[in-house]
Amino acid sequence: MRDFLGFLKYFIKRLLVSLLVIFIGVSVVFLIPRLVPGANPAEMAIRRLQMSGAYLPAESVEKMKQALLKLYGLEGSLFSQYIRFWREVLRGNLGPSFASFPTPVITLISRSLPWTVGLLALTTILSWFTGTILGGIAGYKNKGVWIRVVEIFSNAVRPIPYYILALLLLILFAYVLGWFPTGGAYQIGLAPTLSWSFLKSVVKYGFLPAISLIIVGVGAWFLNMENLVSNITGEYFVRFARQMGLRDPIILKSYVMRLAMPAQLTGLGLQLGFVFNGTIITEIVFNYPGLGTLIYTAIMQSDYNLVMGTTLFSIVAVALATLIVDLLLPLIDPRIQYVQG
Amino acid sequence: MRAFVNTVRKLFRTDMRFRFGVIALGFLLIFVLLSFFSPYDPRSSYYVPISRPPSLKYLFGTTGRGQDLFWLLTFALKNSLIFGLEVALLSRIIAIITGVVAGYRGGTIIDNVLTLFCDTFVVLPIFPILVFLRLVARGMTFSTLAVVLALFGWPWDARLIRAQVLSLRERKFTLTAVFSGKSIFDLIFSEYLLHILPIVLATTINNMLWSLGLEITLSILGLTPLDIPTMGTVTYWAIQQQAMVTGAWWWILFPIVFIILLFTSLYLLVTSLTSFINPQLRSINMREVGR
């Protein structure tokens, strides 16, 4: 019973953080176009029209402005706008896209989501496991040649901004060497079915984006885990286990790695937002048809609703994913249920 | 002050990372100073022949927009560094105040609320939000962007400072000070600030790495004032005008080399500093992937 209450307390606290993330994120997105001077999307649309050379009499400008204000949900007091905004967000109604009118934003998102989730899930899981295991070995034992190579490599890659790294990979492998295509998710003209040639093409096109994310991810997790483990290895209970004559693999697996796991998993939860950003940038660099490319084309076309919709969606998605990681944590770290908070 | 100089000297002698970081950064700073002697206006274009490869006359070649890449990069580096420093200084103020207050009030409601806010801001996916902000506020200057980034860039460091103050509060000297009638503000300013200074320094550099990375990413997407040269906007124009395809390799190579040099030197400095302060704190660099 006490266990359950402890868990409940932990759960509520984590839930609160996720809800707060959504609340603050959505509120910021609500406030930005209303507080930033000159950022009123209705006026922006009219200005764009006028700039393209269309002559508009004053009264029709005023009429159009009213219609646009209504369309953007910008009429009424700030508070009533806010309530309305939340209602639509909770309903999942993000409005129509303007560039591909009248397709709802949510349809566009759900069309590109599988690519992002696929890339994100695959690379995160792969790099988290690889980095954690290699880092554990590196932190525990004196290093072999390969571990040294990974260590130097991780340190070298780490400070480089991700965009630049992805760009370098693209230039090297797609332009100079020509091993991989310069963009896209599968060969143009292939129908997205479960055929062999389609899958082969997906792997070929996805390889470069995936490998760029994995390089960065493995490096980060490796260094973090190495640091954690080398701290744990100095503890008395590890020395004791050694003196008992336990074999190294057992100590490493059941004593050291196990203790480092919660911190590493918490890191995963905290990093999710950043990992997500990374995926968005990858897609833009490699022209991969996921959320990132959707955002990018929306910027290019000044598709206000689409950018706002993807932003809102990203906030909610990251908050929920973080919550899931947090809820998995007690399964790995039994102490969490007892510690207050 | 003397102790500070001695520490720096010792680090310089013993730590290769520190030595490399300082030397590389020194080189970059000299490069920045050159911008004051530039014969050209950084915002003008088409004043030299376009797309000339590196030569004695044009050290780094010229861009497709008729700019001398060497002088352009001196300005770009200066603007980027100023931008990074602005973000770092502003967000330091928020981080120090939040961290010290939360730490000193450790365990109370104030602490819980502040920590909750930290946790929230850490998770918030800032990149889409920034993209949205830039879309509606096209006319935003780099200084305004710096303020916005500062509003998002403090929570990680506030947590570190909080942890430090939390442990300082348990030390005997805090009790002595409180019992001998020192006010809280006095205690914080005269005692604690000195103790958290090393962390603040390390996180400042770390924060610069983060904000410079975001600046470059946003610029390459074309979301910053593109007429002002920064490391990001220079790269933007190179990509925008297909430098890779037209064979103007120097146009994209030199910005990237300088970006990598800048980030590597800052990174080496921060790892050297943190492992000097406390080896356990090395994990504060965990914000790479999102850049």
Q: What is the DSSP string of A165-233?
A: HHHHHIIIIIIIS--S-SS-SS-TT---SS-HHHHHHHHHHHHHHHHHHHHHHHHHHHHHHHHHHHHHH
Of the candidates A220, A299, A307, which has its C-beta nearest B289's C-beta? A220
Within a domain: A335: no
Tell me if B123 and A296 make a contact (CB, 8 A cut-off). no
Q: What is the DSSP letter of A97?
A: -
Tell me if A299 and B287 make a contact (CB, 8 A cut-off). no
Within 8 A of A299 by CB-CB distance, chain B residues are 131, 135, 221-223
Tell me if A267 and B286 make a contact (CB, 8 A cut-off). yes
Give the residues across from A96 on adjacent strands.
Answer: A104
Within a domain: A246: yes
- Looking at residue B222, its pLDDT comes to 84
- Band of pLDDT at residue B87, cut at 50, 70 and 90: very high
CATH code where residue A226 lies: 1.10.3720.10
Q: How far apart are CA B234 and CA B25, in angstroms?
A: 20
Tell me if A216 and B127 make a contact (CB, 8 A cut-off). no
Mutate to test the interface with B, among A32, A124, A169 (most CBs of B within 10 A): A32
Tell me if A17 and B120 make a contact (CB, 8 A cut-off). yes
Task: Name the residue of chain A whose CA is nearest to B260's CA.
Answer: A160
Specify whether the CB–CB gap between B136 and A33 falls below 8 A.
yes
Within a domain: A148: yes
Of the candidates A21, A227, A308, which has its C-beta nearest B124's C-beta? A21
- Measure in Å the smallest separation between the Cα of A238 and chain B Cα atoms: 18
Indicate if the pLDDT at residue B80 is higher than 90. Answer: yes
Longest dimension (CA), chain B: 74
Q: How far apart are CA B237 and CA B227, in angstroms?
A: 10
Tell me if A21 and B289 make a contact (CB, 8 A cut-off). no
Estimate to the nearest angstrom the gap between the alpha carbon of B193 and the chain centroid.
Answer: 21
Within a domain: A72: no
Tell me if A314 and B125 make a contact (CB, 8 A cut-off). yes
Structure tokens at A247: 């074999």
Within a domain: A88: no
Q: How far apart are CA A234 and CA A140, in angstroms?
A: 9
Within a domain: A158: yes
Give the global pTM: 0.83
Q: Which of A333, A318, A200 is nearest to A269 (CA)?
A: A318
- Looking at residue A192, its pLDDT comes to 67
Structure tokens at A285: 């660099």
With a CB cutoff of 8 Å and minimum separation 6, the contacts of A39 are: A32, A33, B136, B137
pLDDT digits (tens, 9 = 90+) for B182-210: 887 888 887 788 888 888 888 899 899 99
Collapsed DSSP state (helix, strand, coil) of residue A332: helix
Indicate if the pLDDT at residue B56 is higher than 70. Answer: yes
Q: How far apart are CA A234 and CA A324, in angstroms?
A: 32
What end-to-end distance do the CA atoms of chain A give, in Å? 17
Specify whether the CB–CB gap between A153 and A223 falls below 8 A.
no
Within a domain: A333: no
Within 8 A of A33 by CB-CB distance, chain B residues are 136
**ipTM, 2 dp:** 0.78
Within a domain: A311: no
Q: How far apart are CA B23 and CA B266, in angstroms?
A: 11
Structure tokens at B176: 């002595």
- Looking at residue A54, its pLDDT comes to 67
Q: Report CA-CA distances (Å) from B113 to A160, B12, B119.
A: 35, 41, 10
Indicate if the pLDDT at residue B254 is higher than 80. Answer: yes
Of the candidates A38, A159, A315, which has its C-beta nearest B266's C-beta? A159
Considering chain B, what is the average pLDDT of its residues?
84
Within 8 A of A235 by CB-CB distance, chain B residues are none
Tell me if A25 and B244 make a contact (CB, 8 A cut-off). no
Tell me if A16 and B266 make a contact (CB, 8 A cut-off). no
Ranges under pLDDT 70 in chain A: 1-3, 38-39, 53-54, 142-143, 188-194, 334-341
Within 8 A of A168 by CB-CB distance, chain B residues are 256
Task: Name the residue of chain B whose CA is nearest to A322's CA.
Answer: B123
Specify whether the CB–CB gap between A141 and A249 falls below 8 A.
no
Within 8 A of A177 by CB-CB distance, chain B residues are none
Bigger pLDDT: B110 vs A99: B110
Q: What value does the mean pLDDT take over residues B68-88?
A: 93
- Which residues in A137-173 are b (16+ Cβ under 10 Å) and which e? bbbbeeeeeebeebbeebbebbbbbbbbbbbebbbeb
What end-to-end distance do the CA atoms of chain B give, in Å? 35
Q: Which domain holds residue A232?
A: 115-303
Of the candidates A21, A33, A284, which has its C-beta nearest B123's C-beta? A21
- Which residues in A81-117 are b (16+ Cβ under 10 Å) and which e? bbeebeeebeeeebbbbbbeeeebbbebbeebeebbe
Write the burial class of residue B40 (CB in 10 Å: 0-12 exposed, 13-18 middle, 19+ buried). middle
- Looking at residue A337, its pLDDT comes to 54
Of the candidates B131, B263, B286, which has its C-beta nearest A299's C-beta? B131
Lowest mean per-residue pLDDT among A17-26, B38-47, B79-88, B277-286: B277-286
- Calculate helix-pair angle for B126-136, A258-286, nearest 10 degrees: 30
Q: How far apart are CA B166 and CA A340, in angstroms?
A: 17
- Measure in Å the smallest separation between the Cα of B84 and chain A Cα atoms: 14
Of the candidates B209, B252, B290, which has its C-beta nearest A159's C-beta? B209
Q: How far apart are CA A38 and CA A96, in angstroms?
A: 23
Q: How far apart are CA A61 and CA A50, in angstroms?
A: 10
Of the candidates A36, A272, A310, which has its C-beta nearest B136's C-beta? A36
- Measure in Å the smallest separation between the Cα of B216 and chain A Cα atoms: 8
- Looking at residue B137, its pLDDT comes to 77
With a CB cutoff of 8 Å and minimum separation 6, the contacts of A89 are: A26, A312
Within 8 A of B136 by CB-CB distance, chain A residues are 32-33, 36, 39, 41, 44, 304
- The segment with the largest mean pLDDT, out of A269-278, B68-77, B160-169, is B68-77
Indicate the number of domains in chain A: 1
